[in-house]
């Protein structure tokens, strides 16, 4: 595969408007940082599960696959980035209890070796991204 074809496949994600654009500017910068981290988890999860990002941020539940991918993104945001359920809920346009429920569901589904393998790879990728964004982070 040439570099050109790789860039062609990645280009639509790069040209997409960030999910946090168009929203009101918030007073605390940590909310903006939490939103960006959740967006990173969303994009990684959408790519891994071959689900459009729009399906993951839709206000309705959508398909089983989209719901599972959204729950996985919430789980990654909590485990890999260390965000609270309130921050995750706000970033996904849902309640903190929804984020907590998603994390419990995904934790239960990790008994399946296939799910565990995909989530393990996503988790390590998100952790590496976090370290790259903030070299002072050791965990």
DSSP string, 15-80: HSPPTTTTSPPPS-HHHHHHHHHHHHHHHHHHHHHT--HHHHS-SS---HHHHHHHHHHHHHHHHT
Residue 67: per-residue pLDDT: 92
Give the CA radius of gyration of the chain: 15
Residue 137: per-residue pLDDT: 53
Nearest to 62 by CA among 79, 49, 44, 77: 49
Residue 14: per-residue pLDDT: 44
Residue 21: per-residue pLDDT: 54
Residues 6+ apart with CB under 8 A from 84: 78, 96
The verdict on pTM exceeding 0.85 is no
Homologous superfamily (CATH) for 37-133: DnaA protein, C-terminal DNA-binding domain (1.10.1750.10)
Residue corresponding to tokens 């729950």: 71
- Tell me the pLDDT tens digit for each residue of 65-86: 999 999 999 999 999 999 999 9
Residue 59: per-residue pLDDT: 84
Name the stretches of the chain with pLDDT < 50.
1-15, 20, 24-29
Largest distance between two CA atoms of the chain: 45
Q: Where do the structural domains in the chain lie, given as residue ranges?
A: 37-133
Residue 45: per-residue pLDDT: 94
């Amino acid at each position: 595969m040439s570099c050109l074809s790789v860039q062609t496949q990645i280009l639509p994600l790069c040209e997409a408007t960030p999910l946090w654009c168009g929203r009101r500017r918030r007073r605390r910068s940590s909310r903006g940082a939490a939103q960006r981290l959740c967006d990173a988890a969303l994009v990684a999860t959408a790519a891994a599960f071959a689900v459009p990002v729009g399906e993951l941020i839709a206000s309705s539940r959508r398909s089983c696959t989209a719901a599972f991918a959204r729950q996985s993104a919430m789980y990654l945001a909590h485990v890999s980035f260390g965000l609270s359920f309130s921050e995750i809920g706000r970033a996904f346009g849902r309640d903190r209890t929804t984020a907590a429920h998603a994390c419990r569901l995904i934790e239960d589904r990790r008994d399946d070796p296939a799910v565990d393998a995909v989530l393990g790879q996503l988790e390590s990728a998100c952790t590496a991204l976090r370290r790259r964004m903030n070299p002072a982070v050791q965990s």
